[in-house]
Amino acid sequence: MSDISLTVNGRQVRATVEDRTLLVHFLREHQGLTGTHVGCDTSQCGACVVHVDGKAMKSCSMLAAQVSGSTIVTIEGIANGADLHPVQAAFKEHHGLQCGFCTPGMIMSATDMIARHPEGLDEATVRVELEGNICRCTGYHNIVKAILAASQAMSKASKPKAKKAA
């Protein structure tokens, strides 16, 4: 058994877990955060993507014990209260989801992708960077559209601030 202490969606969490407990199972079963999904067992589908210390990670491929001391953000934690995160809003606006099962992982990967590309994104880049997330419903068409729209919206929103700082 391992004692772990970490921050999950802004809340300090302490727990004792079996050594073999995966991060995704810790989140789903111990924390009740069932928005993070398990769609495969080979780290391919990306339904389990969460942010670990600000980076998109597949939570099926990490032990809970590995992330002791880390800060985790899941799909439940990215909205600002009742205000959707721009990526969440864009997925709704552009019909970037159907059954919703891959959606949390898609959104968590997309927010990380947008953050890593402050210069902006184009379709080819989005498609290549989505390699680690599988969707069976949408054919990716509207997911790509949503991510491009969110990227634009977020860069517009951040520009005035950048000017002020300069």
Partner 1 sequence: MGMEGIGARVTRKEDKRFITGAGRYVDDMVVPGMKHAVFVRSPHAHAQIKKIDVKQAQAMPGVVAVLTGKELKADGIGNLICGWMIHSKDGSPMKMGAWSPLAFDRVRYVGDAVAIVIADTKGEARDAAEAVEVTYKELKAVVDAVKALEKGAPQLHPEADNNLIFDWEIGDAKATDAAIKAAHHVTRMKIVNNRLVPNAMEPRAALGHYDRGEDHYTCWTTSQNPHVARLVMSAFYNVAPENKLRVIAPDVGGGFGSKIFIYPEEVVCLWASKKAGVPVKWVADRTESFLTDAHGRDHHSTVEMAFDKNNRITGLKVDTVANLGAYMSLFSSSVPTYLYATLLSGQYNIPAIHANVRTVYTNTAPVDAYRGAGRPEATYLLERTMETAARELGVSPAELRRSNFITQFPHQTPVIMCYDAGDYGASLDAAMKAADYAGFAKRRDKARKAGKLRGIGMSCYIEACGIAPSAAVGSLGAGVGLWESAEVRVNAVGTIEVLTGSHSHGQGHETTFAQLVAGRFGVPIDSVSIVHGDTDKVQMGMGTYGSRSGAVGMSAIVKALDKVEAKAKKIAAHLLEADEGDIVIENGALKVAGTDKNVPWFQMALAAYTAHNLPSGMEAGLKETSFYDPTNFTFPAGCYICELEVDPETGLTEIIQFVAADDFGNIINPMIVEGQVHGGIAQGVGQAMLEGAFYDASGQLLTASYMDYTMPRADDLPSFKVSTSNTPCPGNPLGIKGCGEAGAIGSPPAVINALTDALGIADFTMPASPSRVWAAAQKH
Which residues contribute to the site for partner 1 (CB under 8 A)? 18, 20, 28, 33-42, 44-45, 47, 74-76, 79, 84, 88, 91-93, 95, 97-104, 107, 123, 126-128, 130-131, 133-145
Q: Cβ 61 to partner 1, closest distance in Å? A: 13
**Would you tell me the crossing angle of helices 103-116 and 141-165 to the nearest 10 degrees?**
40
Nearer to partner 1, 67 or 94 (CB): 94
CA-CA-CA-CA dihedral for 101, 136, 114, 25, to nearest 10: 40
* Whole-angstrom distance, CA of residue 42 vs CA of residue 62: 12
Q: Cβ 28 to partner 1, closest distance in Å? A: 8
Q: Cβ 163 to partner 1, closest distance in Å? A: 31
Nearer to partner 1, 33 or 67 (CB): 33
Hey, is 89 helix, strand or coil?
Answer: helix
Nearer to partner 1, 7 or 140 (CB): 140
CA-CA-CA-CA dihedral for 91, 93, 96, 101, to nearest 10: 60
Q: Cβ 110 to partner 1, closest distance in Å? A: 11
Q: Which residues on adjacent β-strands are paired with residue 72?
A: 8, 52
* Whole-angstrom distance, CA of residue 114 vs CA of residue 144: 12
Nearer to partner 1, 39 or 66 (CB): 39
Q: Cβ 123 to partner 1, closest distance in Å? A: 7
Q: Give burial (CB, 10 Å; 0-12/13-18/19+) of 150.
A: buried
Nearer to partner 1, 122 or 162 (CB): 122
